[in-house]
A and B are shown apart, each in its own frame.
Chain A
Amino acid sequence: SQTIHQWPATLVQPVGSPLSLECTVEGTSNPNLYWYRQAAGRGLQLLFYSIGIDQISSEVPQNLSASRPQDRQFILSSKKLLLSDSGFYLCAWSRVYGYTFGSGTRLTVV
């Protein structure tokens, strides 16, 4: 069966520090991978999606970047965090219709 792992579950980082969130998928090959963010009082905003290794599309301009060095690995990064980067980050994968989400990372930038 397919599983998706996302870590860490919670993270508190100071402003200006770097960020690396990792997501891996098991039990499937060539999935579409996504990073979403849920900010306080807002819906799920798509940040990045990837249809293959090193193929990343950005949905919104921001302080973040994404990479996919392996088929089932998706990494969300930042060189310098801003206060506005705080939120709940979700990784997801899909093959056809419907997503499977990871358990999320609560990021607090202080």
Chain B
Amino acid sequence: DQQVKQNSPSLSVQEGRISILNCDYTNSMFDYFLWYKKYPAEGPTFLISISSIKDKNEDGRFTVFLNKSAKHLSLHIVPSQPGDSAVYFCAASGGTLGFGNEKLTFGTGTRLTIIP
């Protein structure tokens, strides 16, 4: 059962334009969401996160939007740059107190390609 879903395995965007990556989740107990960026043959690196008490979090060119009623979040990258080409993973945590709060469930990833 895939609790975190990224339905677009790949996305191509022109340099300078906006990249929008989408993520859907099914577990209503999730209360914290993160985006990770991964280059080939490297470990994922943290990009941006959002708590369920917010609906938007912005950090430079990156903005994450959360729609709790739709169980949907998205990552916006504006403007897109060639160095943004990577695989992006959506992740979620929450549920029981204690350790369960820290365990992350990852989506399947979206490969973003920025076209110069």
Which residue numbers of A lie inside 8 Å of B, CB to CB?
6, 9, 32, 36, 41-46, 49, 51, 88, 90, 92, 94, 96-104, 106
Contacts and interface: CB of A to CB of B under 8 A. Distances in A.
A41 B42 CA distance: 16
Interface residues of B, number: 27
Main secondary structure of the interface of A (DSSP, over half): strand
Interface of B: 2, 4, 6, 9, 32, 34, 36, 41-46, 49, 89, 91, 93, 99, 101-109
Given A97-B49, A98-B46, A102-B43, A51 B99 contact: yes
A44 B42 CA distance: 13
Contact of A99 (B4, B6, B104): B104
B54 to A, nearest CB: 14
A37 to B, nearest CB: 11
